[in-house]
Amino acid sequence: MKKVLIISNIPSPYRTALFSYLQETQTEYRFQILYTSRKESDRAWTQNTEGLKDTYFQSSRVLSVKGGEIGGTATRFVHIPKGLSGMLTNLDPDVIIGSEYNLSAVQAFLWAKCRGIPYINLTDGTLRSETYIGRIQKLTRKLIISRSDGFLASSTKAKEKLLHWGAAEEKIAVSFLTVPTEPFLEIQRAPEPGRILYVGRISHEKGLDLLVEALAKTQTPCCLRVVGNDVGGEERLVKEKIEALGLGDRVEFLGYREGQALLEEYSRASLLAVPSRSDCFGLILVEAGCAGVPIAASCYADGAYDVIEPGVNGLIADPEKPEEFAACLDALLTQQLPADSMREALGEKFSFRLAAHGYAQALKIVEGGGKHG
- Rounded CA-CA distance 78/63 in Å is 5
- pLDDT on residue 36: 86
- pLDDT on residue 372: 43
Chain centroid to CA 72: how far?
20
Phi, psi of 368 (to 5 degrees): 100, 20
Domains of the chain, with CATH numbers?
Answer: 2-178+351-369 (3.40.50.2000), 182-348 (3.40.50.2000)
287 contacts 266 by C-beta, under 8 angstroms: yes
pLDDT string in tens for the chain (373-residue length): 899 999 998 888 889 999 999 999 999 999 999 998 876 555 555 666 666 789 999 876 666 666 554 544 555 566 677 889 999 999 999 999 999 998 999 999 999 999 999 999 999 999 999 998 999 999 999 999 999 999 999 999 999 999 999 999 999 999 999 999 999 999 999 999 999 999 999 999 999 999 999 999 999 999 999 999 999 899 999 999 999 999 999 999 999 999 999 999 999 999 999 999 999 999 999 999 999 999 999 999 999 999 999 999 999 999 999 999 999 999 999 999 999 999 999 999 999 999 999 999 999 999 985 444 4
- Rounded CA-CA distance 173/163 in Å is 12
In this structure, the dihedral spanned by the alpha carbons of residues 176, 326, 234 and 43, taken in order and rounded to 10 degrees, is: -20
Across 192-340, where does the E strand assignment appear? 195-199, 223-227, 251-255, 271-274, 295-298, 314-317
- pLDDT on residue 371: 44
- pLDDT on residue 370: 45
Chain centroid to CA 358: how far?
16
How large is the C-alpha radius of gyration of the chain? 21
| pTM for the whole structure | 0.91
Burial category of 89 from C-beta neighbours within 10 Å (exposed 0-12, middle 13-18, buried 19 and up)? exposed
